[in-house]
Amino acid sequence: MKNKYIVAAIGEWNNELFEKKSKQFNGEWYFASNPEELSELLDSITPKYIFFPHWRWVVPKSILDKFMCVCFHMTDVPYGRGGSPLQNLIVLGHKETVLTALQMEEGLDSGPIYLKKKLSLEGTAFQIYKRTSLLAWSMIKEIVENEIQTTPQSGDVVLFKRRKPEDSEIPNDLEFDQIYDYIRMLDAPGYPKAFLSSNGYRIEFDQAGLHDEFVTARVRIKKEDI
């Protein structure tokens, strides 16, 4: 009997990557893009693993207790447990990080570790997320083919706080390279763009470029929400 696997992820790029990569692996592979699709799959199949390369919902304890769930977190845990890892890393000045594959449990990003792989933080958020998804698939392949065992996390715990939409407003005391970072770290589909507020208008930025004495960006101006 073939092993069954589920990949649960948001974003068209993750769906496209699934269609390409899953055909290269043994076993039966299924894709879920939201909690409802995941629940429907789990009503009909029993997967050996559920992989979560890019997921924005809390996974219920009932699923964590019954299935082997593996998430991919963009920090060297236990450093950086918590929300918005990409944005928090860039704000703190990190140029690279590691992608950690870990077993999911009730504690946030606290589970034992399968693998860690180096990950560059260059480019826009969307470019980084696509790079991360590719790296996650190489780690999925390694976990499935080599039956990798987990090891406990070790070191001091550093928690990251999940960012809110209002946190996308560009602070007024940044250097040019920091402004560039602020814009690019939010430049991905579905994320609130970096913005400034002025006289009732919201000025949003993406497609940033960094130069010696200035930053360039594409601008969208709209009325502030009342």
On the question of pLDDT at 149 being above 80, the answer is yes
pLDDT of residue 212: 92
% helix, strand, coil for the chain, step of 5: 30, 30, 35
Strand partners, 161: none
Rounded Cα distance between 97 and 77, Å, is 10
Per the prediction, the chain carries an average pLDDT of 95
Rounded Cα distance between 22 and 147, Å, is 17
The answer to whether residues 2 and 48 touch, using CB atoms and an 8 Å cutoff, is no
On the question of pLDDT at 107 being above 60, the answer is yes
The answer to whether residues 183 and 214 touch, using CB atoms and an 8 Å cutoff, is no
Q: What is the pLDDT of residues 42-67, one digit of tens each?
A: 999 999 999 999 898 999 999 999 99
Which pTM was predicted?
0.92
Domains and CATH numbers, the chain: 4-160 (3.40.50.170), 165-223 (3.10.25.20)
